[in-house]
C-alpha cells in the first residue's frame, strides 16, 4: 500500500513526487513513456527559474526525477490498463500487476494530434515548436511559420513578432476562427487557404511545404515552424467514467488541485490552464502534493515545505 500513486513523470508528476516523498509519504510514480512527453523532447530550455544557461528538457526532467528518488520516491515504467479510484483505496492496474494507494495524482499531460505533418515529429524541438512563449527567443532575427486558424495561433504569432524578422501565418481556412478583433501584426505575411503539407529539414527545420489557395505547391524557407492546429487533448480517457471532466476532457479541480472524488488530484495539462509551461506544471504538482499530505494526514490546512 502506497500513500500516493502519481500517474505521469513529466514536470507535474516529478515535482509532486519530490514534495510527497520529502514529506515522508510512500510514493510511486508510474509512466508508460517518461522520455516521450512534451518537455522530454524539448531540445533547448533557457527560461526555467534557477537554471542558468541552456539545457534539454530531458536533462531537466532527469534532474527532477533523481531529486525525487533521493527522497525515496519509486519510479516504474509500464502501461496502465485500468484504475479504480471510487473507494477509499485507489487501485491502479498495469501490465506488470496491481498497485494500491490512499491517494492518486493524475499528471498525464496532454495527447498530441492524431495526425502530424510529415517531418513534424522528427524535427520537434529542432525548429518545430508548439509554444512561442517557450521558444520564441531562440528565433531572434529569423524567419518562422505559424500554422493555425484559432485565437491561440493569433496570440502566439503576436508573441513571436517580438523576435522573428518575418512570420508566415499559414491559415488552412479562408479566415481565422472565432477572432472578433484582428490586431495589426508586424513582420507577418498572412497565407489564407494554405494547406501545410510537410516540414522540411535535415536535423533542423529548413522549410515548410504548403499548397496555396490556388492549388500550387510552394516551400517557404523558414528556420522554425510553430504548430497550433486543433487536436491536442488531456490524457484523461482512462478515468473518464470515475472523475468529473469538462466537455474537452479536462479534470475539474479546485484551487488545491482536488477533484470532487476524495483522494483524487490532478496537476499540469490535465487541468484547463491558459498557460502551458513546465514551471506552471511543476507548481501544480507541488500544490497537489501538499494537498495529498493534507488529505492523508487529515490536516486542517496545507503545511508548506520550506526546508
Q: At 236, phi and psi to the nearest 5?
A: -120, 10
C-alpha cell at 147: 500554422
Q: What DSSP designation does 80 have? A: E
Contact 208, 145 (CB under 8 A): yes
Enzyme catalytic residues: 131, 134-135
Burial class (CB in 10 A: 0-12, 13-18, 19+), 150: middle
C-alpha cell at 228: 497550433
Strand pairing of 97-106 and 90-94? antiparallel
Contact 233, 114 (CB under 8 A): no
Neighbouring C-alpha atoms within 13 Å toward the C-beta of 151: 5
Amino acid at each position: 500500500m502506497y500513500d500516493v500513486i502519481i500517474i505521469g513523470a513529466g514536470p507535474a508528476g516529478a515535482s509532486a513526487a519530490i514534495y510527497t516523498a520529502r514529506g515522508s509519504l510512500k510514493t510511486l510514480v508510474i509512466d508508460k513513456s517518461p522520455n516521450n512527453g512534451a518537455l522530454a523532447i524539448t531540445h533547448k530550455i533557457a527560461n526555467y527559474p534557477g537554471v542558468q544557461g541552456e539545457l534539454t528538457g530531458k536533462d531537466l526532467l532527469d534532474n527532477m526525477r533523481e531529486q525525487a528518488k533521493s527522497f525515496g520516491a519509486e519510479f516504474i515504467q509500464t502501461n496502465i490498463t485500468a484504475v479504480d479510484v471510487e473507494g477509499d483505496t485507489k487501485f491502479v492496474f498495469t501490465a506488470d500487476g496491481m498497485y494500491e494507494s490512499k491517494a492518486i495524482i493524475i499528471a498525464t499531460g496532454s495527447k498530441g494530434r492524431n495526425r502530424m505533418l510529415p517531418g513534424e515529429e522528427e524535427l520537434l524541438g529542432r525548429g518545430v515548436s508548439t509554444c512561442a512563449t517557450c521558444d520564441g527567443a531562440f528565433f531572434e532575427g529569423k524567419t518562422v511559420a505559424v500554422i493555425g486558424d484559432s485565437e491561440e495561433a493569433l496570440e502566439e504569432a503576436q508573441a513571436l513578432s517580438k523576435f522573428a524578422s518575418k512570420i508566415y501565418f499559414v491559415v488552412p481556412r479562408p479566415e481565422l476562427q472565432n477572432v472578433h478583433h484582428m490586431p495589426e501584426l508586424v513582420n507577418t505575411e498572412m497565407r489564407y487557404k494554405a494547406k501545410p503539407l510537410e516540414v522540411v529539414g535535415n536535423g533542423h527545420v529548413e522549410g515548410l511545404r504548403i499548397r496555396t489557395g490556388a492549388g500550387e505547391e510552394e516551400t517557404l524557407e523558414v528556420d522554425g515552424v510553430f504548430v497550433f492546429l486543433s487536436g491536442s487533448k488531456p490524457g484523461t480517457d482512462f478515468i473518464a467514467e470515475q472523475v468529473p471532466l469538462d466537455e474537452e476532457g479536462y479534470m475539474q479541480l479546485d484551487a488545491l488541485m482536488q477533484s470532487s472524488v476524495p483522494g483524487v488530484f490532478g496537476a499540469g495539462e490535465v487541468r484547463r490552464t491558459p498557460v502551458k509551461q513546465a514551471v506552471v506544471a511543476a507548481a501544480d504538482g507541488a500544490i497537489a502534493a501538499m494537498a495529498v499530505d493534507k488529505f492523508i494526514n487529515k490536516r486542517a490546512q496545507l503545511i508548506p515545505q520550506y526546508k
